């Protein structure tokens, strides 16, 4: 199947970058987008199989430039990985800023919609079209004081299921991946801030964050990349319309 032509949103850092590097190491051609120009430059420099463009998914005009440019650069699109998302504010619904609510949905839900609708004609011309959508444990469960994030991530699950039904006759497989807490600098900063605010130790805050999981460790981004590789491969050819959790056995979002 290699080299496949792979488009990844928010591919310059975190899960997106690890996934881009995994596909490139597999021999695929990868085009990423990101809003962080410095991170984008570093990601592109990390592997000759990775190219990239600046794009803010909240800007429809920018998305409408990005997807055709990515398809032209790659010579088509075989795999689309909708990874971009923002975490948004922390507040109860009654105190939620409506502008902040709309800003989260603009990236997480509407941005993913716009990238996907523009990529579909290219995917239909592929012999092995695949769409993967990164949701979250927060999309599987209610998430107190994180309503825009949770609602947008839940919406992505319905979007994946709908796309799978619409595109099955075209041989395009669509699945959602729902990670739990992902290991890395971001979650460590969050835990350190919680420890500073609560007066508890970092170890105590970490244990509390993992209390809702059966397995007491955060998710390695490399494992999410490996799952994406599997779902995009011929080994995943009979899997579509599914949400695959990778969250250590989480029972709630926290």
Please list the active-site residues. Answer: 149
Beta bridge partners of 162: none
For 94-108, give one letter per residue: b (16+ CB within 10 A) or e. eebeeeebebbbbbb
Q: How many helices (H) and strands (E) does the chain have?
A: 10, 7
Give the C-alpha distances (Å, rounded to integers) separating 162 from 20, 80, 165, 205, 243: 26, 16, 5, 38, 12
* Bond preceding residue 160 cis, omega within 30 of 0: no
Distance CA 10, CA 13 (A): 7
């Amino acid at each position: 199947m290699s080299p496949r032509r792979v488009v990844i949103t928010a591919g310059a850092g975190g899960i997106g970058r690890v996934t881009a590097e995994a596909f490139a190491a597999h021999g695929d051609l990868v085009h990423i987008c990101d809003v962080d120009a410095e991170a984008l430059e570093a990601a592109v420099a990390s592997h000759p199989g990775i190219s990239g463009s600046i794009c803010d998914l909240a800007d429809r005009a920018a998305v409408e430039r990005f997807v055709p440019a990515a398809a032209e650069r790659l010579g088509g699109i075989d795999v689309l990985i909708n990874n971009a998302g923002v975490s948004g504010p922390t507040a109860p619904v009654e105190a939620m800023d409506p502008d902040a609510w709309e800003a989260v949905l603009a990236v997480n839900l509407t941005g993913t919609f716009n990238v996907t609708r523009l990529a579909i004609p290219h995917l239909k011309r592929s012999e092995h079209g695949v769409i993967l959508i990164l949701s979250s444990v927060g999309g599987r469960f209610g998430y107190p004081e994180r309503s825009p994030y949770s609602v947008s991530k839940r919406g992505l699950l319905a979007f994946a299921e709908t796309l799978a039904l619409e595109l099955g006759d075209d041989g395009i497989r669509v699945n959602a991946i729902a990670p739990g807490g992902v290991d890395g600098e971001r979650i460590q900063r969050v835990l350190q801030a919680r420890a500073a605010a609560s007066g508890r130790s970092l170890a105590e805050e970490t244990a509390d964050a993992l209390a809702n999981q059966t397995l007491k460790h955060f998710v390695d981004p490399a494992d999410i990349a490996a799952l994406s590789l599997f779902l995009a491969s011929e080994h995943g050819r009979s899997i579509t319309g599914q949400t695959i959790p990778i969250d250590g056995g989480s029972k709630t979002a926290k």
